[in-house]
């Protein structure tokens, strides 16, 4: 496979796409009927990966000048992918993802359009707002849970909200901490992150607080008898990870450590997703 082909694949952020699909499965597991077929499973995978890949591609297109400073090895600033190629691939993936959602159900199509529109608005305009943009990203990250539940039941069970809250909080913390790594490049686009407006220490404190808030609310589904002990046993591992990352960024709010914490968070979120699924099915 050529370097250009690998770069185009890299543009879609495969690990993030996989996490989005697992979140869809978690939404199914947290639904009332837990209904899924081979067809909806495949369509769910296509929708999650394609819309995530499209959003990531458009993000890299709009951030190409920023990434030339913050991440020069990414596909566009490295020269392996031309901006117009990123637009073409992202547009194609967006069309595939929306078509896949339409083939699943009208309700799934509505959820997909809302989430995808929010991601496009973030990439084009809302990223510059800082914390507001961070929260929009987190709502988009929560959307696959809603999508999975709608794919299964046709509606969203109220109990899903209790599982979505820690996801929203922890991802917002990750976005705030990510701003520490991107301060130099964000200045080129005028992005008003917490790190740029209040400083790295303030961003570290807020990010850590959001992590710890997610940990604090994570036992609620078990306390309210909405899930089994298996959930609690696994989610405690994720909680320990978030506590570790919170302590790490508070101790050292440097861009290098913020990048490490940002990457660690994906692992803790994956473990939490496994907890959601296992606790609901076992």
What digits encode the pLDDT tens for the residues 180-191?
998 888 887 888
| pLDDT more than 70, % of the chain | 100
pLDDT at 239: 98
* Statement: residue 178 has pLDDT above 90: yes
Q: Which pLDDT score, from 0 to 100, does residue 18 have?
A: 92
Residue 115 has pLDDT above 80, yes or no: yes
Write down the pLDDT at residue 113.
98
Q: What is the mean pLDDT of the chain?
A: 94
- The answer to whether 96 and 50 are in contact (CB under 8 A) is yes
Domains by residue range for the chain, with CATH: 1-155 (1.10.357.140), 158-282 (1.20.120.1780)
- The yes-or-no verdict on residue 66 having pLDDT over 90 is no
Contacts of 53 (CB under 8 A, 6+ apart): 11, 12, 13, 17, 89, 90, 93
- From 57-71, 197-211, 212-226, the region with the lowest mean pLDDT: 57-71
């Amino acid at each position: 496979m050529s370097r250009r082909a690998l770069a185009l694949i890299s543009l879609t952020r495969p690990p993030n796409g996989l996490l989005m699909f697992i979140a869809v499965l978690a939404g199914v597991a947290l639904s009332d009927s837990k209904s899924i077929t081979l067809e909806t499973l495949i369509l769910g995978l296509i929708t999650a990966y394609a819309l995530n890949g499209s959003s990531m591609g458009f993000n890299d297109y709009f951030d190409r000048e920023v990434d030339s400073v913050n991440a020069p090895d990414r596909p566009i600033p490295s020269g392996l992918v031309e901006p117009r190629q990123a637009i073409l691939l992202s547009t194609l993936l967006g069309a595939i993802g929306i078509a896949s959602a339409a083939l699943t159900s009208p309700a799934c199509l509505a959820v997909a359009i809302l989430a995808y529109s929010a991601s496009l608005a973030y990439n084009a305009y809302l990223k510059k707002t800082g914390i507001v943009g961070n929260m929009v990203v987190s709502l988009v990250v929560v959307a696959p849970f809603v999508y999975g539940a709608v794919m299964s039941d046709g509606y969203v069970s109220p109990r899903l909200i209790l599982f979505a809250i820690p996801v929203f909080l922890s991802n917002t913390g990750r976005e705030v901490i990510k701003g520490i790594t991107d301060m130099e490049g964000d200045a080129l686009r005028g992005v008003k992150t917490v790190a740029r407006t209040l400083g790295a220490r303030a961003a570290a404190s807020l990010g850590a607080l959001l992590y710890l808030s997610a940990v604090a609310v994570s036992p609620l589904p078990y306390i309210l008898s909405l899930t089994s002990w298996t959930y609690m046993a696994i989610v405690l591992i994720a909680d320990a990870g978030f506590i570790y990352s919170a302590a790490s960024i508070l101790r050292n709010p440097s861009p290098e450590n913020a990048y490490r914490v940002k990457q660690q968070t994906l692992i803790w979120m994956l473990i939490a997703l496994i907890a959601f699924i296992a606790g609901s099915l076992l």
